[in-house]
Amino acid sequence: MIKDSLTEQCPLCHQNSKRFYLDIFYCCNECEGIFKRRQSLPTPQEEIKRYEEHNNDVNDIRYQNFVSPITNAVKSNFSTEHLGLDFGSGTGPVISKVLSDYEYNIKQFDPFFCNDTDVLQLKYDYIVCCEVIEHFHFPDKEFHLLKHLLKPKGHLYCMTHLYSKEIYFANWYYKNDDTHVFIYQPRTLYKIKELYNFSALVIEKRLVTFIN
């Protein structure tokens, strides 16, 4: 039997938190990250099963349009001479597909579907994380890695659905995906900027840009 807990340590900034939704999600008192308690996290096997259910056809125009905030940002700020990384590329690496069609040089990494650790030995001008950061069980370690992989002035592009106080969490679709284990609020993003010494942060709806 799992003992009910009123507090959990935040996996991002390691500060105390309070119970936020049932005994599943907790909210950090410091960074306002909303995260699943350790006992509620999916297993790797459960994660893989869920990801394989995604119908991610890289040639689907609707899917390409969905990721267009990232692909457009990359095309506006970087050239084909720059090196990029699609981090958490998943079963359908649509960003890599779109940018490669424009002759961009972008590599892929995914712990389940493209676990090529050689690409983690390089430095990148830009990194894209599309619907990825909400899956981080250990966001402290993941953002440390992403920061380390960026060149000076490099951009880290993240797409996720931010939570705000106007959203009724109990009915919110985004928390219903069992693999969404860490939800961000604007304050969380500014805490990441501070913790990892990014020089700038830009929030444009679902697109979040950290600049090294």
Q: What is the pLDDT of residues 61-85, one digit of tens each?
A: 998 999 999 999 999 999 999 999 9
pLDDT higher than 70, residue 4: no
pLDDT higher than 50, residue 203: yes
Mean pLDDT confidence for 16-24? 95
In a domain, 203, yes or no: yes
pTM, 2 dp? 0.94
Tokens of residue 211, six digits: 């600049």
In a domain, 173, yes or no: no
Cβ pair 147, 212 in contact under 8 A: yes
Q: What is the pLDDT of residue 7?
A: 75
Q: What is the pLDDT of residue 123?
A: 98
Q: Supply the range of the domain harboring residue 128.
A: 42-162+188-211
In a domain, 16, yes or no: no
Sign of the four-CA dihedral 194, 197, 199, 202: negative
Q: What is the pLDDT of residue 58?
A: 86
Sign of the four-CA dihedral 68, 72, 78, 81: positive
Mean pLDDT confidence for 33-61? 90
In a domain, 12, yes or no: no
CATH number at residue 200: 3.40.50.150
In a domain, 19, yes or no: no
Query: How many Cα atoms sit within 13 Å of 133 on the Cβ side?
Result: 33
Sign of the four-CA dihedral 53, 172, 46, 91: positive
In a domain, 25, yes or no: no
Residue 44 CB neighbours (<10 A): 10
Residue 4 CB neighbours (<10 A): 8
pLDDT digits (tens, 9 = 90+) for 106-124: 999 999 999 999 999 999 9
Number of domains into which the chain is organized: 1
pLDDT digits (tens, 9 = 90+) for 139-154: 999 999 999 999 999 9
Choice between 22 and 7, residue whose per-residue pLDDT is larger: 22
In a domain, 146, yes or no: yes
pLDDT digits (tens, 9 = 90+) for 144-188: 999 999 999 999 999 999 999 999 999 999 999 999 999 999 999
Mean pLDDT across the chain:
94
In a domain, 71, yes or no: yes
